[in-house]
Amino acid sequence: MEKCLLLGNGGREAVIAENIAKTYSLYSVLPYENPSIVEYVKKSNGKYIVGSPFDKELVKKFIEEEKIEVCVISSDNLLQDGLIDLAKSLGLKTFGPTSIAAKLEWSKTYALDIVQKLAPEMVIKNFEISTEAELEKAMENYPDENFVVKPEGLTGGKGVKVGGEHFSSKEEGFAYAKECLNASGKVIVQDKVKGSEFTVMVLTDGKNVVPLPITFDYPYRYEEDKGPGTGGMGCMSFSNGLLPFLEQKDVDECVNLIQKTINYVNKDSLEFTGVLYGGFFKTEEGIKFIEFNARFGDPEAMNVLNALETPWNEVMENIFNQTLSTENCKFKKTNTFLVYIVSKEYAVKKNNEPVIFKLNKKQIENKGVKIYFANAKEIGENEYTSVSNSRLFALEKTGDNLEELKKEVYKVIDEEVDKVLDYRKDIGEIYEH
Ligand code: GLY
């Protein structure tokens, strides 16, 4: 079996690990022992070390000593930091963009400029700002708080602030835009649009793209999409691969933009492979572009990879050989439903203490629900602790009837999830903004 290195340690990586471990020996460099990733490393007779995946010397030594042949990365900061570049330089076959190609995610202005060239009709009116004078001028376009502020760099899904939702006056929005400008030298201010948000992800070998089932994410912390932005509190996908408010032609328009973007980024050399994620809004004025991510979404990866029919090694081989197609990369016609479990303070308070919680993994699995650990580690029998104030674990179920899936996952949450923890109780509803 080939040896495959996976870097990254969230719920997204837990499901990638599950897929890799079916057909490769899984290797990893983990900052803490993510119980899911550790389980899949052991099942596949692989190996992990505890250390920083950002430590290039450590990763290089591990790759060389263990003679690792393949590398998969789908985490924004690791991609920006050039860990795929490192793996390529050591001769590994890689899944994930180089740092320069991941700029589609780590520079919001770079992404907007490309979409402006390729599909100007999809761009929401915006101001790319790099001085305080430009910010003041842009503000003249807005009589009140009805605008959106987008930081330039990576923010783990928590940086975009929407007027009326995250700030309640023009002054507050201006102050946040100024803070972003001071932090990175750039900020985007854009019109607020009304519509339904959705995600289109594709797998790509750098030339061909295969669209994944469309997912509906819950980026806000509380029910009815209230509260601060988060990395995503839940996610679902439908058996027809669409969402109730989307038609195939809407998706085709997004995939067309994604395909053109990959061609544009790869025009000189093959820099982008893996997953390109597009965030979009369906509005009365048509489909509008929000952002690109250079990786699988988290939690979206747990939904789409549970619908993947083709073994992961075949997908990878077709990516390495640039032969990826909808014929050799197939998805089941199934629904997927997922709820992320978090601490009560997640996304609302900083510098909080670790949360210790009880969890009987076997019992959850025996009830037919999958569990993927994220920012948690085991500290005793059926006892875990958070390792940061990020999402802790996700519960996922795949099947024919979405209403049933929802009932079953929430029943398991009710019976099995420690009351010290929190989650959104309305995953499954469709919201418009
Ligand atoms: N769920 C949104 C993201 O992964 O960025």
Average pLDDT over residues 128-142: 97
Report yes or no on 109 lying in a domain: no
Distance (angstroms) between ligand 1 centre and the Cα of 133 equals 32
How does residue 110 score in pLDDT terms, banded at 50, 70 and 90? very high
Q: CATH number, domain at 393? A: 3.30.470.20
Report yes or no on 431 lying in a domain: no
Distance (angstroms) between ligand 1 centre and the Cα of 103 equals 16
Q: Which residues of 229-247 are buried (b: 16+ CB within 10 A; e: fewer)?
A: bbbbbbbbbbbebbbeebe
Q: Which class for 51: exposed (0-12), middle (13-18), buried (19 or more C-beta within 10 A)?
A: middle
Q: Are residues 186 and 201 in the same domain?
A: no
How far is Cα 363 from Cα 370, in angstroms, rounded to an integer?
11
Q: Are residues 403 and 382 in the same domain?
A: yes
Q: Which of 75, 218, 277 to mutate to test the pocket of ligand 1 (most atoms within 8 A of CB)?
A: 277
Q: From the alpha carbon of 300, which atom of ligand 1 is closest? A: 1
pTM of the model: 0.96
User: Do the beta carbons of residue 377 and residue 423 sit within 8 Å?
Assistant: no
Q: Are residues 168 and 210 in the same domain?
A: no
Q: What percent of the chain has pLDDT over 70?
A: 100
Q: Is the pLDDT of residue 157 over 70?
A: no
Q: Which of 191, 216, 235 is the last residue of a domain?
A: 191
How far is Cα 340 from Cα 66, in angstroms, rounded to an integer?
34
Q: Are residues 85 and 140 in the same domain?
A: no
- What is the reported pLDDT for 36? 98
Q: Which residue carries 């939904």 as its tokens?
A: 303
Q: Are residues 328 and 385 in the same domain?
A: yes
Average pLDDT over residues 211-225: 95
Q: Which residues of 390-419 are buried (b: 16+ CB within 10 A; e: fewer)?
A: bbbbbbbbbeeebeebbebbbebbeebbbe
How does residue 350 score in pLDDT terms, banded at 50, 70 and 90? confident
How far is Cα 45 from Cα 3, in angstroms, rounded to an integer?
10
Report yes or no on 292 lying in a domain: yes
Distance from the Cα of residue 220 to its chain's centroid:
14
Q: Which of 169, 191, 213 is the last residue of a domain?
A: 191
- What is the reported pLDDT for 371? 98
How far is Cα 287 from Cα 257, in angstroms, rounded to an integer?
11
Q: Which residue carries 């948690």 as its tokens?
A: 376
How far is Cα 297 from Cα 256, in angstroms, rounded to an integer?
19
Residue nearest to atom 5 of ligand 1 (CA): 297
Residue nearest to atom 4 of ligand 1 (CA): 297
Q: CATH number, domain at 162? A: 3.30.1490.20
- Side-chain half-sphere CA neighbours of 342 within 13 A: 25
Report yes or no on 429 lying in a domain: no
Q: CATH number, domain at 44? A: 3.40.50.20
Whole-Å CA distances, 369 to 1, 34, 306, 405:
29, 19, 12, 9
Q: Are residues 410 and 355 in the same domain?
A: yes
pLDDT tens-digit series, residues 351-366: 678 999 999 999 999 9
Report yes or no on 430 lying in a domain: no
Distance (angstroms) between ligand 1 centre and the Cα of 219 equals 8
Average pLDDT over residues 266-275: 95
Please write down the HEC assignment for all residues of the chain.
Answer: CCEEEEECCCHHHHHHHHHHHHHCEEEEEECCCCHHHHHHHHHCCCEEEECCCCCHHHHHHHHHHHCCCEEEECCHHHHHCCHHHHHHHCCCEEECCCCCCCHHHHCHHHHHHHHHHHCHHHCCCEEEECCHHHHHHHHCCCCCCCEEEEECCCCCCCCCEEECCCECCHHHHHHHHHHHHHHHCCEEEEECCCCEEEEEEEEECCCCEEECCCEEECCEEEHHHEEEECCCCEEEECCCCCCCCCCHHHHHHHHHHHHHHHHHHCCCCCCCCEEEEEEEEEECCEEEEEEEECCCCCCHHHHHHHCECCCHHHHHHHHHCCCCCCCCCCECCCEEEEEEEEECCCCCCCCCCCCEEECCHHHHHHCCCEEEECCEEEEECCEEEECCCCCCEEEEEEECCHHHHHHHHHHHHHHHCCCCEECCCCECECCCC
Distance (angstroms) between ligand 1 centre and the Cα of 185 equals 24
Q: Which of 212, 214, 298, 304 to mutate to test the pocket of ligand 1 (most atoms within 8 A of CB)?
A: 298
Q: Is the pLDDT of residue 148 over 80?
A: yes
Q: Is the pLDDT of residue 431 over 90?
A: no
Report yes or no on 270 lying in a domain: yes
Q: From the alpha carbon of 12, which atom of ligand 1 is closest? A: 4
pLDDT tens-digit series, residues 303-337: 999 999 999 999 999 999 999 999 999 999 999 99
pLDDT averaged over the chain?
Answer: 96
Q: Are residues 158 and 259 in the same domain?
A: no
Q: Are residues 325 and 389 in the same domain?
A: yes
DSSP-assigned beta bridge partners for residue 162: 148
Radius of gyration of the chain (CA): 21
Q: Is the pLDDT of residue 433 over 90?
A: no
Domain count, the chain: 3
Distance (angstroms) between ligand 1 centre and the Cα of 368 equals 26
Q: Are residues 147 and 216 in the same domain?
A: no
- What is the reported pLDDT for 31? 98
Distance (angstroms) between ligand 1 centre and the Cα of 109 equals 18
Q: Are residues 342 and 314 in the same domain?
A: yes
Report yes or no on 405 lying in a domain: yes
Kindly state the tokens that stand for 234: 């839940």
Q: From the alpha carbon of 217, which atom of ligand 1 is closest? A: 1
Report yes or no on 104 lying in a domain: no
DSSP-assigned beta bridge partners for residue 260: none
Q: Which of 150, 169, 191 is the last residue of a domain?
A: 191
Residue 66 identity:
E
Phi-psi region of 231 (alpha: psi -120 to 50; beta: other; left: phi over 0): alpha
Distance from the Cα of residue 211 to its chain's centroid:
15
Average pLDDT over residues 5-15: 98
Distance (angstroms) between ligand 1 centre and the Cα of 231 equals 5
Residues at CB less than 6 angstroms from ligand 1: 157, 217, 231-232, 293, 297-298, 300
Q: Are residues 272 and 369 in the same domain?
A: yes
- What is the reported pLDDT for 172? 97
- What is the reported pLDDT for 321? 97
- What is the reported pLDDT for 218? 95
Q: Are residues 261 and 398 in the same domain?
A: yes
For residue 49, the enclosing domain spans: 3-95
